[in-house]
């Protein structure tokens, strides 16, 4: 089984092709300004024949434009190529990668922090966002994990038991308001 992984949730593009849970090819593009210019060419570089069975797409949280871009491309590929699509939050990927079952995860976007709280590897409250100032107070005396290395083997193992969804039902995971809404 081949899986195409698409992640544009924050600043970089990360495209991986897995075969039987092993990485065959991976490309990371580190260019914050022009993700839309590089996303499709990077996907075509990693998987030129469109030879994959399913798509895993990170649906957030993160950059409004980055999340929207990755999801739009993943949905389009899934729909037009009749492929299975599985959305996953970046926090859930970190959660699956950790041995401990109770933890607080945070991710900085430059202006503040997205926060996820887990008990027994289950999200215990809705994701939320704190400004840099509010986060400083919140983080005092807490063991917060910020840079969890993704263990793709564990993520893929978990997602094997998750059914694909209709591409039209994949939604971005937005936590904070965009500038125009504020």
For the chain, the domains span 2-181
Q: How far apart are CA 75 and CA 172, in angstroms?
A: 11
> Which CATH number describes the domain made up of 2-181?
3.30.420.40
Q: What is the DSSP letter of 84?
A: E
Model confidence over 53-80: pLDDT tens digits?
A: 999 999 999 988 899 999 999 999 999 9
Query: Within 13 Å and on the Cβ side, how many CA atoms surround 168?
Result: 0
**Total-model pTM:** 0.93
Percent of the chain exceeding pLDDT 70 equals 95
10 pLDDT higher than 90: no
100 pLDDT higher than 90: no
Burial code (b: 16+ CB inside 10 Å, e: under 16) for 155-169 equals bbebbeeeebeebee
181 pLDDT higher than 60: no
């Amino acid at each position: 089984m081949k899986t195409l992984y698409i992640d544009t949730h924050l600043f970089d593009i990360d495209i991986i092709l897995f075969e039987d849970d092993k990485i065959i090819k991976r490309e990371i593009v580190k260019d914050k300004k022009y993700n839309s210019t590089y996303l499709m060419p990077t996907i075509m570089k990693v998987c030129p024949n469109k030879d994959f069975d399913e798509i895993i797409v990170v649906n957030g949280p993160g950059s409004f434009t980055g999340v929207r871009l990755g999801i739009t491309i993943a949905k389009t590929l899934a729909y037009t190529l009749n492929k299975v699509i599985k959305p996953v939050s970046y926090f859930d990927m970190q959660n699956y990668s950790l041995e401990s079952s109770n933890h607080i995860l945070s991710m900085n976007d430059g202006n503040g922090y997205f926060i996820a709280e887990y008990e027994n590897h289950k999200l215990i409250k809705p994701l939320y966002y704190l400004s840099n100032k509010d986060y400083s107070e919140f983080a005092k005396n807490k063991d917060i994990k910020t840079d969890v290395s993704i263990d793709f083997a564990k993520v893929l193992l978990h997602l094997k038991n998750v059914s694909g969804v209709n591409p039209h039902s994949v939604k971005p995971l937005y936590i904070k308001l965009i500038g125009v809404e504020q």
